[in-house]
Amino acid sequence: MTVHDQTGPSVPTATGTPGPGETEQWQLTAPHAPVRAAIAERVFRHAARNLAVTVSFPDGTRLGRGGPLLRVVRPAPFFHRLGAQGNIGFGEAYMAGDWESPDLAAALTPFAERMATLVPPPLQALRRLVDVRRPPVERNTPDGARSNIQRHYDLSNELFEVFLDESMTYSSAWFGPGDDLCAAQLRKIDGILDYAGVRDGSRVLEIGTGWGALAIRAARRGATVTSLTISVEQRELARLRVAAAGLSDRVSVELRDYRAATGTYDAVVSVEMIEAVGEEFWPAYFRTLARVLAPGGRVGLQAITMPHDRLLATRHANNWIQKYIFPGGLLPSVPVVESQAARAGLSVVTRRSLGPHYARTLASWRSRFLAAWDRVDALGFDPVFERMWEFYLAYSEAGFRSRYLDVWQFGLRSAG
């Protein structure tokens, strides 16, 4: 699907949602567009002056304290989008070519470092006029979760093969000395399996299959694995990879929502799946972990997190990542993981942060993605889709570079 407005090229929405210049909010606020654009310009220029970045404009104006270059190519459309939808408009402006950077992740990092203070306090109260509320249709009910997941993970297995390593692991790696990306991914998997106590004879439940790398690794330890996914594309390829590894007798990949999990397991593992659960269903997710865990069993959980105060401030708003990449997604905070686990009868007994490792992982993915654009093009994705995914990977990398985002491995046990 593509949309078009008068301020830039056609932009594919990829998720079936309205694109730049064509949202319901923009239609409702069009009479106030010049005022909003003027306010957005003033806020942006004020913020840029104090950041370690160089912002250049076509008239030769340069802002910032020096650093990575952010070049505003078309100021009027850029501020038009920024005024219409804030951070969503900022990402859409990149997709439309209103601004560019030779080092996108580096240019975005200073903004991520000041995420909470970019908008001056007197204007914070006006955020509700710009922030877009989360669409009710994206609630992560069983049907809604399937729809949300399909809009990302079912784009094309071949697309993910373009930039992932041979393990087909789509989560933060954990780099050791001399590790390439694949070795670092296996190190990460081993870390979460160790937290869950997976060994020969273990009965393992995996919530969120991906493309089967963790299930295969666990089975090679001698475990029997039941892996749950709601992505049809992922299940198909994961089953093929399990069979190719000769482990079909030890690994079962099922198309099933986590809430429908049955059985009892010595270990439960879930890597970067909680981000797709949604605040409304966090209690159900942790209750499921506790319900299927055998006495004495352990849980290995990997979760991307954001600061708790920022979660409280933004949890009801839709952002660019949610609109274009992960509909229905919401990052928890460490206090959320701890409190939700405790309410379900689980306690966090060990943890480690891998935030800097995720920045390195994302940089590798983005490099691979951009180097293989011919392959992406051959799959039927157009150049604006490329800009959308480049922005997604760079935006995420900047979040981890700045430590605004983190990723944790947690080891949990029954609290009793």
* Alpha-carbon span 61 to 409, nearest angstrom: 45
Structure tokens at 60: 């030769």
- Please give the pLDDT value at position 154: 73
Helices (H), 297-333: 308-314, 320-324
Average pLDDT value over all residues in the chain: 89
- Please give the pLDDT value at position 122: 56
Structure tokens at 413: 């046990």
pLDDT-derived band at 124, boundaries 50, 70, 90: low
- Please give the pLDDT value at position 126: 55
Containing 54, the helix (H) or strand (E) segment is: strand 54-56
* Alpha-carbon span 25 to 205, nearest angstrom: 43
DSSP string, 220-276: HTT-EEEEEE--HHHHHHHHHHHHHTT-TTTEEEEE--GGG--S-EEEEEEES-GGG
Q: Closest by alpha carbon to 308, among 341, 330, 285, 276? A: 330
Domain boundaries in the chain? 2-133, 138-414
* Single-letter amino acid, residue 54: T
- Please give the pLDDT value at position 156: 87
Residue 205: beta bridge partners?
A: 226, 268
pLDDT tens per residue across span 90-119:
999 999 999 999 999 999 999 999 876 666
pLDDT tens per residue across span 283-304:
999 999 999 999 999 999 999 9
- Please give the pLDDT value at position 26: 37
pLDDT tens per residue across span 345-402:
999 999 999 999 999 999 999 999 999 999 999 999 989 999 999 999 999 999 999 9
CATH class of 138-414: alpha beta
